[in-house]
Amino acid sequence: EAGVAQSPRYKIIEKRQSVAFWCNPISGHATLYWYQQILGQGPKLLIQFQNNGVVDDSQLPKDRFSAERLKGVDSTLKIQPAKLEDSAVYLCASSLSLAGPHEQYFGPGTRLTVT
Amino acid sequence: AQKVTQAQTEISVVEKEDVTLDCVYETRDTTYYLFWYKQPPSGELVFLIRRNSFDEQNEISGRYSWNFQKSTSSFNFTITASQVVDSAVYFCALSEQAAGNKLTFGGGTRVLVKP
């Protein structure tokens, strides 16, 4: 079974530029998550989708971050404009559904460096 | 609000030594789940275990064991006879049923196993 796919793996941009990350979850997984992991810290949830609907985006900086999951499968996370403090690894995860404590499976992440 | 604390930031051991990672959590929910994830140098988070709040039985899986104590809100993880391949950052995480099962991670403990 294929795991969670993410691209690109690395991205370097200058502040005020925009960037987009892509995630393809495990086939059949209804729930998709985006996390931000700053160096030396645990992952922090940015947004959670159930199919193509947003369940929780309370920690998403909506003035610069946006995410979508239009067809309930792939998802894109965008930052515009980027700030230095956005330098982090962006992790995508998926799980079977919201109902029940299904474990989340993580992708390899995208390491973003903002200069 | 849910919170996870991993007081040990880094532990260094010599191969074959045992190592115990501490995890203390806070929650007001009566139904919750606790997880441990491993993050090797490659960066991908690997699921290790999930326990629910109603099951306080300890668990052993090979060289890994977990001790769940509701009375002290702790969910500690022991690696017996450590190996170099165990070198990684380990994260404890909590999800509350009332919060849609989103994961809150601790800050992680880096384990360095020296040959």
- For residue A86, what pLDDT is reported? 97
Tens of pLDDT along A65-100?
A: 999 998 889 999 999 999 999 999 999 999 987 666
Q: Cβ–Cβ of A93/B45 closer than 8 Å?
A: yes
Structural contact between residues A55 and A99, judged by C-beta atoms closer than 8 angstroms: no
| B89 DSSP assignment | E
Q: In chain B, which residues touch A (CB < 8 A)? A: 4, 33, 35, 37, 42-47, 50, 52, 91, 93, 95, 97, 100-108
Which chain A residue has the Cα nearest residue B10? A40
Rounded to a whole number of angstroms, the distance from the CA of B95 to the nearest CA of chain A is 8
Q: Cβ–Cβ of A41/B103 closer than 8 Å?
A: no
Q: In what order do the strands lie in the sheet with A65-68?
A: A5-7, A19-24, A75-79, A65-68
- The pair of three-digit structure tokens given for residue B62, joined into one six-digit string: 């090979």
Q: What is the DSSP string of chain A?
A: ----EEE-SEEEE-TT--EEEEEE--TT--EEEEEEE-TTS--EEEEEEETTEEEE-TTS-TTTEEEE-TTSS-EEEEESS--GGG-EEEEEEEES-SSS-PPPEE---EEEEE-
What is the spatial distance between Cα B33 and Cα A100, in angstroms, rounded to a whole number?
10
Q: Cβ–Cβ of A98/B100 closer than 8 Å?
A: yes
Q: Which of B42, B46, B105 shows the shortest C-beta gap to A42?
A: B105
Per-residue pLDDT of chain B (115 residues; tens, 9 = 90+): 789 999 999 999 999 999 999 999 999 988 899 999 999 988 889 999 999 898 888 888 899 999 999 999 999 999 999 999 999 999 999 998 777 778 899 999 999 999 9
Tens of pLDDT along A19-77?
A: 999 999 999 999 999 999 999 999 999 999 998 899 999 999 999 999 999 888 999 99
